[in-house]
Structure 1
Amino acid sequence: MGSEGYQPLLLGLNPDVRITDLSANAAEELLVHEPVAVRWYPRLVAWESRLLWLLSGASIVVSIFNYMLTFVTLMVTGHLGTLELAGASIATVGIQGLAYGIMLGMASAVQTVCGQAYGAKQYAAMGIICQKAIVLHIGAAILLTILYWFSGPALKAIGQSEDIAEQGQIFSRGLILQIYAFAISCPMQRFLQAQNIVNPLACIAVVVFLLHILLTWLAVYVLDYGLLGAALTLSLSWWLLVIIQWLYIVFSPSCNETWTGFSVKAFKDIWPYFKITVASAIMLCLEIWYFQGLVLISGLLPDPTISLDSISISMNYLNWDMQFMLGLATAASIRVGNELGAGHPMVAKFSVIVVNTTTILISLVFSAIVLIFRVGLSKLFTSDSVVIEAVSGLTPLLAISVFLNGIQPILSGVAIGSGWQAIVAYVNLATYYIIGLPIGCVLGFKTSLGAAGIWWGMIIGVVLQTLALFILTVRTNWNAEVAKAADRLKQSANEEILDKNMGGII
């Protein structure tokens, strides 16, 4: 390759240029002309890392503080009594977790299509896609309301005692309003994130969290509304998220081009988008329910109290790590979706490499922390020496899971940004439920491993799923993905609102 091919880039990437001045177009042009000179890689890595952390930093805050809403509610219900805590906890895992998995999974379709639309500068299409998503989410919420109302019999059906199931039903019925908040908030969050609007979302999440602490204290300790009051307060806090996010979308100049008001176009040609939504929901639900199912199964072991406590404490730390990694996965999804929509296949590929390298290094540090402080971490949750010993025994497995957690969610985020949900749904079904879950049950119930056996089954499923996603990512033809992104947008958005020049991205 002659120097002529590099001339435009050398003008934009001279030795004195600042990282903030680099553009995706310049990076794409440089990466296309392989081999790339070694001296450019540190500059390109720094440029991509800056974009990644600008997105992921705020996305991590959103993920953690949204998770903390339920965490604080459970902490408060623990002071009402052990029975109330057990009912709220099992309802959170078995009922609320199921609903949130569906809503989060469906919303990943918004992340895919809006992310690619934003990269393609098809701004008008984004508002319509968000409205289509809300329509479908509300439809799902109506169906889920039936499960919430009759959650008592559902909890009994999965082996819970009558007393715990009764308390779980009280808590679940108080969360019915939350389902509809999920249905609106999840698409709106993804709609904003696809436009790289993340800092306002982080601020909103923190403000609502602080208000939630105050409201929960008033409802439970001052007004003495008990378990139902705690649940209704959690629902109220999620509606505060919805209201503030909607006000931002409607009145912020940042959304002037992407949100042009409600439109009947949201109900037109909804079937192609519905198919993407279903695939997205199945993909993430299979993943989320797998981890929740293992906690429920551990309660059926010969010594259920110790087993459930040890796995629950370990899963609590894994959940915190997962919230952190989900923020990075969201950023990865946004970056890949934006660059595919903009017609930058090489930058999308480079972004995948940078984010995976970053998360592997972070996970190594987190895994080391878990191993070093194995006893201290257990004592934060319990003073029972038997439970502490059981948790310490699971710590090496937790460290392995934390390391895998630095790879698997990121690859899932890449899959969402690329629109591979249907393929990954089949991968999750095979690796988690056909292989991982049966192995965990056999090791947990038919050997002396107990809780550790169930956890080994989880690890095996995650390893196989990670390998499958890694192979899928490595073998990806990113030029073909750019063409698929354009076709996906045409199918999901109404034809008349698309810029006729969008074919230029292919």
Structure 2
Amino acid sequence: MDKHDEPLLVTGPGAEKENGTAAAAEAKRLLRLAGPLVLANILQFALQLVSVMFVGHLGELPLAGASLAASLANVTGFSLLVGMAGALDTLCGQAFGAGQYHLLGVYKQRAMVVLALACVPIALVWANTARILLFLGQDPAIAAEAGAYARWLIPSLVPYVPLVCHVRFLQTQSIVVPVMASSAVTALTHVLVCWALVHGAGMGSRGAALSGAVSYSTNLAVLALYTRLSGACERTWTGFSMEAFKELRQFTELAFPSAMMICLEWWSFEVLVLLSGLLPNPKLETSVLAICLNTSDLMYMVPYGLCTAISTRVSNELGAGKPQAAKLATRIVICMAISEGLLIAVTMVLLRSFWGYMYSNEEEVVAYIARMIPVQAASFFMDGIHNSLSGVLTGCGEQKTGARVNLAAFYLAGIPLAVLLAFVLHLNGMGLWLGIVSGSLMKLLLLTWIVVSINWEKEAIKAKDTVLGSALPIA
């Protein structure tokens, strides 16, 4: 038996203590990865929020246009790029675990090529945002404002593509503190950048849109300098290579389901917003649902950090030929997801009567949110667990399976049930959210069954074959 295949959990005298020590060590590794990533995700999430806040002080029309454009940009662009970059979680993570360090730099460059090509249709959509919104029946003035904002978002694609690739490249090596630090520097300077462009240069809402390109460039510059100067990546970054232009189709075959795995769930919540506009009293329903989604987006950063951490741990251990270590990491992250999910869900329920005042002074809105919070807390609890399970699938390279699960859970179950509850049984916004909660429950059950059925030894062999199949001669 190879030393990598030795069971991580032992039996016999002293087994309980030894197994407990292994579990505690794994929990510490996951926390060291997840903690900085949670903070980094929150700081990155704040960039677009700050930009829209600056626009909000320019008037209702610029705010409506910027909010609509930012939502469209997330749905049609940023979510796709983040999802496609998820292929690096599998490829770089397994290569790093297998000791094929030179492959990480090649994979990163290959990802930048594929994502750059994907930016062409994204830029075309953003350039024609006004026409698209008019076709969808939006107010002409708001459509024109959103179209102008979206066009000024196009330059942000240039630094955003290498940025997301750099982040994945580093986190698969468990280098996460620099990612957090660069996000903090970017978030702090972003406020100054927004003010300088919006007010200093007199660009108004266009300046707020352009600020993203400046701030993403700042973040990219910090991470690029760290990669090249720190010495931490001297084995994984060996310079630019023509190998980046090879096997693009194979990379795309993993990148596309990676994108669908994220986007299919993300888009289902956007469908809720559209459906809320068809309900009686749409202004109230849309406002409350927007607040609930904003809360969910913020809270999501915690389980997303765990998701990223477990994908790194599983891919590293499978690449290293240690299936039992990957299995242990999966067990530990599920326990952690349940614990943090319960803590935050209970806190949300206890604060439900006050939560709405963070967003509105209208008593009707506050009372409605208080009724929605328990349902949202249940949704968050389940989301935390199935996000960790999704991270396990990503670490195994099973993004296609994850995409199929999201398609079934949200589009064959969640959204149809939401329509039934909201429009047929007249539960309105509560019905929409209950439908999505049902989709989350179905996703949790499916992923639990899939992860429990994983043959870890076979996954380790598959990871080894993947890495060796891409192995390059070291110069």
Does the CA contact (< 8 Å) of 1:105 and 1:285 recur in 2? yes
Match of 2:316 in 1: 338
Q: Give the superposition deviation at 1:332.
A: 0.8
Does the CA contact (< 8 Å) of 2:88 and 2:168 recur in 1? yes
1:149 aligned residue (115, 123, 127): 127
Task: For 2:227 and 2:17, locate their aligned partners in 1 and report how far apart those are by CA, in whole Å.
Answer: 42
- With the length of structure 1 as denominator, give the TM-score of the two structures: 0.90
1:31 aligns with 2:8: yes
1:240 aligns with 2:243: no
2:412 aligned residue (434, 437, 443): 434
Match of 1:14 in 2: none
Does the CA contact (< 8 Å) of 2:112 and 2:165 recur in 1? yes
Deviations 1:165-224 (A, max 9, x none): 222111111110112322211111101101111111110000010000111122223333
Map of 1:412-491 to 2, 5 A cutoff?
412-491=390-469
Q: Give the superposition deviation at 1:49.
A: 1.0
1:92 aligns with 2:49: no
Does the CA contact (< 8 Å) of 2:415 and 2:436 recur in 1? yes
Task: For 1:401 and 1:417, locate their aligned partners in 2 and report how far apart those are by CA, in whole Å.
Answer: 24
Task: For 1:165 and 1:34, locate their aligned partners in 2 and report how far apart those are by CA, in whole Å.
Answer: 66
Higher mean alpha-carbon deviation, 157-166 vs 234-243, is at: 157-166
Match of 1:17 in 2: none
Map of 1:224-373 to 2, 5 A cutoff?
224-373=202-351
Deviations 1:429-464 (A, max 9, x none): 111112211111222222321111111111111111
1:211 aligned residue (158, 170, 189): 189
1:130 aligns with 2:129: no
Higher mean alpha-carbon deviation, 98-107 vs 295-304, is at: 295-304
With over 3 angstroms needed to count, the CA separation of the structure-2 counterparts of 1:497 and 1:164, relative to structure 1, is farther
Q: Give the superposition deviation at 1:142.
A: 1.4
**SS across alignment from 1:189:** helix
How many residues align? The count is 473
With over 3 angstroms needed to count, the CA separation of the structure-2 counterparts of 1:126 and 1:248, relative to structure 1, is same
Match of 2:357 in 1: 379
Task: For 1:34 and 1:270, locate their aligned partners in 2 and report how far apart those are by CA, in whole Å.
Answer: 46
Task: For 1:426 and 1:34, locate their aligned partners in 2 and report how far apart those are by CA, in whole Å.
Answer: 38
**SS across alignment from 2:384:** coil
Q: Give the superposition deviation at 1:472.
A: 0.5
Deviations 1:349-381 (A, max 9, x none): 110110110111111111111111112110011
Q: Give the superposition deviation at 1:84.
A: 1.6
Q: Give the superposition deviation at 1:159.
A: 4.2
Task: For 2:278 and 2:155, locate their aligned partners in 1 and report how far apart those are by CA, in whole Å.
Answer: 31
Match of 1:18 in 2: none
Does the CA contact (< 8 Å) of 2:103 and 2:472 recur in 1? no
Deviations 1:24-77 (A, max 9, x none): x79x74525457822223312210111111111111111111111111112221
1:411 aligned residue (364, 389, 395): 389
With over 3 angstroms needed to count, the CA separation of the structure-2 counterparts of 1:422 and 1:34, relative to structure 1, is farther
Match of 1:79 in 2: 57
Task: For 1:476 and 1:498, locate their aligned partners in 2 and report how far apart those are by CA, in whole Å.
Answer: 33
Does the CA contact (< 8 Å) of 2:193 and 2:214 recur in 1? no
Map of 1:16-27 to 2, 5 A cutoff?
none
Runs of 5+ unmatched residues, structure 2: none
Identity of aligned residues (%): 34
Q: Give the superposition deviation at 1:225.
A: 1.7
**SS across alignment from 1:406:** helix
Letter of the aligned partner of 2:8 in structure 1? L
**SS across alignment from 2:192:** helix
Does the CA contact (< 8 Å) of 2:52 and 2:66 recur in 1? yes
2:171 aligned residue (187, 193, 197): 193
Does the CA contact (< 8 Å) of 2:76 and 2:122 recur in 1? no
1:63 aligns with 2:48: no
Letter of the aligned partner of 2:317 in structure 1? E
Letter of the aligned partner of 2:388 in structure 1? I
Does the CA contact (< 8 Å) of 1:98 and 1:289 recur in 2? no
Does the CA contact (< 8 Å) of 1:94 and 1:292 recur in 2? no
Does the CA contact (< 8 Å) of 1:109 and 1:280 recur in 2? yes
Task: For 1:488 and 1:29, locate their aligned partners in 2 and report how far apart those are by CA, in whole Å.
Answer: 22
With over 3 angstroms needed to count, the CA separation of the structure-2 counterparts of 1:459 and 1:156, relative to structure 1, is farther
Letter of the aligned partner of 2:233 in structure 1? C
Does the CA contact (< 8 Å) of 1:124 and 1:497 recur in 2? no
Task: For 1:232 and 1:300, locate their aligned partners in 2 and report how far apart those are by CA, in whole Å.
Answer: 33
Runs of 5+ unmatched residues, structure 1: 6-24, 500-506
- With the length of structure 2 as denominator, give the TM-score of the two structures: 0.96
Q: Give the superposition deviation at 1:144.
A: 0.6
Does the CA contact (< 8 Å) of 1:118 and 1:195 recur in 2? yes
**SS across alignment from 1:60:** helix
Does the CA contact (< 8 Å) of 1:282 and 1:425 recur in 2? yes
**SS across alignment from 1:31:** coil
Task: For 1:154 and 1:252, locate their aligned partners in 2 and report how far apart those are by CA, in whole Å.
Answer: 46
Higher mean alpha-carbon deviation, 242-251 vs 121-130, is at: 242-251
Match of 1:46 in 2: 24
Match of 2:96 in 1: 118
Letter of the aligned partner of 2:109 in structure 1? Q
Higher mean alpha-carbon deviation, 432-441 vs 333-342, is at: 432-441
Letter of the aligned partner of 1:497 in structure 2? P
1:104 aligns with 2:89: no
Q: Give the superposition deviation at 1:250.
A: 2.2
Q: Give the superposition deviation at 1:135.
A: 0.1
Alignment RMSD (CA, Å):
1.8
With over 3 angstroms needed to count, the CA separation of the structure-2 counterparts of 1:315 and 1:382, relative to structure 1, is same
Higher mean alpha-carbon deviation, 352-361 vs 244-253, is at: 244-253
Letter of the aligned partner of 1:355 in structure 2? V
Does the CA contact (< 8 Å) of 1:115 and 1:334 recur in 2? yes
